């Protein structure tokens, strides 16, 4: 069923059909009604491709996420979806597993499909791949700290500030050796985290020791790291993990070996999933405005798509602040923390 047949059946021209759909005010109400009922009767749906071909506008964006197993990314997706659905865009989705090759192949694929925009999350594209993306001239936005050539706009969560607040909290509780368990995939945030750590350290005026290690961002990965840590001789007062999943794994390892949290080890995470308040002890962590981040990214991108000419070449930034959620996994806060803050 195409527009020509509908036109024939309705006894009008194709232009009228098209106008009923795109500029209804240009056609006589009775004609409009007649055409609409005829469309319904014939079960006609306009062919989106033909339309896109003409307007070079697909009302479609692509979304690349390194992992959907993390609660943080799920929230980002959810935020993006909300905005995008309200504007009648469709989403091509790809779980990249943090693999730049999958990422790049996917970008080529959607570029051929002439999508209107791309949202990258914690991208690992190398310089040449990014250049290729830039050449496609497709508006894109990166959620993540590092700048990707060709992404006009980027927005991210201020991990520097978040880490600063978390470490300050831990120092305030009296911890002197605070280790970090980071994600071996998303190295984007590492520099930020280090900077935040150093700021808290400097400001405290104390000698705070720190050891960094890297592991897979999963319960499994956390468990392995936890076991490794327990077996070693030099042992931190506190451990901060990049993800909840890692923290949960560490908790499990601690439990298995009889290590008490928070009495023998303070534990905190840099993200916040529903599990954090469920486990015991409930986990102190950073709460991120992840849904908001997704919505912001989507809105920036859609703006960029829809008034392309307006702000071409002007890189924008959007920075969102995490919030410290103090629970019970780092020890008693009542007294010490009030003094510090």
Partner DNA sequence: TTGCTGGATGTAACCATTTACATCCGCTAA
Partner DNA sequence: TTAGCGGATGTAAATGGTTACATCCAGCAA
Site string for a copy of itself, 31-50 (x = CB under 8 A): ------------x-xxxxxx
Query: Does position 1 bind a copy of itself by CB under 8 A?
Result: no
Counting residues that bind a copy of itself (by CB under 8 A) gives: 51
Does the footprint of a copy of itself cover residue 319 (CB under 8 A)? Answer: no
336 binds a copy of itself (CB under 8 A): no
Figure out which of the listed residues 9, 36, 90, 259 binds a copy of itself, where binding follows CB under 8 A: 90
Residue 92 is a binding residue for a copy of itself (CB under 8 A) = yes
Name which position in 14, 74, 230, 259 contacts a copy of itself (CB under 8 A).
Answer: 74
Q: How many whole angstroms separate alpha carbon 322 and alpha carbon 289? A: 6
Q: How far is the CB of 137 from DNA (least distance, A)?
A: 13
Residue 340 near a copy of itself by CB under 8 A: no
C-alpha R_g of the chain: 26
13 binds a copy of itself (CB under 8 A): no
Q: Which of 5, 18, 31, 93 binds a copy of itself (CB under 8 A)?
A: 93
248 interacts with a copy of itself by CB under 8 A: yes
- Footprint of a copy of itself on 167-226 (CB under 8 A): 218-220
Q: What is the 3-state secondary structure (H, E, C) of the chain?
A: CCHHHHHHHHCCCHHHHHHHHHCHHHCCHHHHHHHHHHHHHHCCCCCHHHHHHHHCCCCEEEEEECCCCCHHHHHHHHHHHHHHHHCCCEEEEEECCCCHHHHHHHHHHHHHCCCCEEEEECCCCCHHHHHHHHHHCCCEEEECCCCCCCCCEEEEECHHHHHHHHHHHHHHCCCCEEEEEEECCCHHHHHHHHHHHHHHHHHHCCCCECCEEEECCCHHHHHHHHHHHHHCCCCCCEEEECCHHHHHHHHHHHHHHCCCCCCCCEEEECCCCCHHHHCCCCCEEEECCHHHHHHHHHHHHHHHHHCCCCCCCCCEEEEECCEEECCCCCCCCCCHHHHHC
Q: Which does 87 bind (CB under 5 to 8 A by kind): a copy of itself, DNA, none?
A: none
Determine which residue in the list 13, 101, 184, 280 makes contact with a copy of itself, applying CB under 8 A.
280
CB of 133 to a copy of itself, least distance (A): 12
Task: Choose from a copy of itself, DNA, none: what does 299 bind? Cβ within 5-8 Å by kind.
Answer: none
249 binds, among a copy of itself, DNA, none (CB under 5 to 8 A by kind): a copy of itself
Binding site for a copy of itself (CB under 8 A): 43, 45-50, 52-53, 58, 60, 63, 68-69, 71, 74, 77-78, 81, 85, 88, 90-95, 102, 108-114, 135-136, 218-220, 245, 248-249, 251-252, 255, 274-275, 278-280
């Amino acid at each position: 069923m195409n527009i020509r047949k509908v036109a024939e059946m309705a006894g009008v021209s194709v232009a009228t059909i098209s106008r009923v759909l795109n500029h209804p005010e240009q056609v006589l109400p009775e004609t409009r009604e007649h055409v609409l009922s005829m469309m319904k009767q014939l079960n006609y749906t306009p062919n989106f491709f033909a339309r896109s071909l003409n307007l070079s506008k697909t009302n479609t964006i692509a979304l690349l996420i390194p992992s959907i197993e993390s609660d943080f990314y799920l929230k980002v997706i959810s935020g993006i979806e909300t905005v995008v659905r309200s504007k009648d865009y469709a989403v091509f989705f790809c779980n990249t597993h943090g693999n730049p090759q999958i990422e790049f192949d996917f970008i080529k694929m959607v570029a051929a499909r002439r999508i209107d925009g791309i949202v990258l999350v914690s991208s690992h594209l190398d310089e040449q791949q990014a250049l290729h993306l830039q050449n496609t001239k497709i508006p894109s936005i990166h959620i993540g700290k590092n700048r990707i050539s060709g992404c006009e706009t980027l927005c991210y969560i201020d991990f520097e500030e978040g880490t600063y607040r978390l470490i300050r909290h831990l120092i305030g509780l009296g911890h002197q050796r605070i280790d970090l368990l980071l994600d071996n995939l998303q190295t984007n945030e590492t520099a930020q985290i280090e900077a935040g750590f150093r700021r808290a350290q400097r400001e405290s005026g104390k000698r705070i020791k720190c050891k960094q290690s890297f592991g897979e961002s999963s319960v499994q990965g956390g468990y392995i790291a936890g076991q490794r840590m327990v077996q070693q001789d030099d042992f931190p007062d506190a451990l901060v993990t990049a993800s909840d999943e890692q923290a949960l794994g560490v908790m499990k390892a601690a439990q298995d070996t009889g290590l008490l949290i928070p009495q023998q080890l303070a534990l905190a995470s840099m993200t916040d999933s529903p599990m954090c308040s469920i486990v015991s002890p409930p986990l102190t962590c950073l709460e991120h405005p992840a849904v908001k981040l997704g919505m912001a990214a989507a809105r920036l991108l859609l703006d960029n798509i829809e008034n392309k000419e307006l702000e071409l070449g002007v890189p924008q930034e959007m920075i969102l602040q995490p919030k410290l959620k103090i629970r019970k996994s780092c020890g008693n806060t009542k007294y010490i923390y009030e003094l510090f803050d």
